[in-house]
Amino acid sequence: MKKQFILIIIAFVFVCAVVIFQGNSIDNVTAARPSETSVRVENVSFQDDIQPILERRCIKCHGGEFPSEGLNVETYESLISGSQNGLVIIAGEANNSLLFQKIESGEMPKRGQHLTAEQIELIRQWINEGAQNN
């Protein structure tokens, strides 16, 4: 009788431990996500986040004396002034910005690998936050 009682208590403690442990790990997973995204959601910086991507992946065609399609991404001013066809960035409207459409569809960069999902997301956020020279 006593043995059974002890066994039941041990089983109960074990079940509680499993429930608490799982509860904790679920909390951790859901808690980690909002803080991860909030780091990326705010304050995308042109100089720190966007310019390095353009320099690495776009400038060899969209830079120098004869940039492709008249689009020069070397400076903020030349990027914002657009291509020979007009603006490629509409502040606050990534989905209506030709530049965003080209990278999201994978048309640009014209050669080499597509931008990563994270790079595309940074550019989307930067445009939607007003495409500032920050």
Q: Using CB under 6 A as the criterion, which residues of the chain lie in contact with ligand HEC when the complex forms? A: 57-58, 60-62, 68-69, 71, 83, 85, 88, 98-99, 102-103, 108-111, 115
Nearer to ligand HEC, 5 or 66 (CB): 66
Choice between 29 and 120, CB closer to ligand HEC: 120
Return left, alpha or beta for 108; rule: phi > 0 is left, psi -120 to 50 is alpha, else beta: beta
Shortest CB 99 distance to ligand HEC, Å: 4
Measured CA to CA, the distance from residue 25 to residue 28 in angstroms comes to 5
Distance CA 134, CA 125 (A): 13
Among residues 114, 112, 92, the alpha carbon closest in space to that of 104 is found at 114
State in angstroms the smallest separation of the CB of 134 from ligand HEC.
Answer: 19
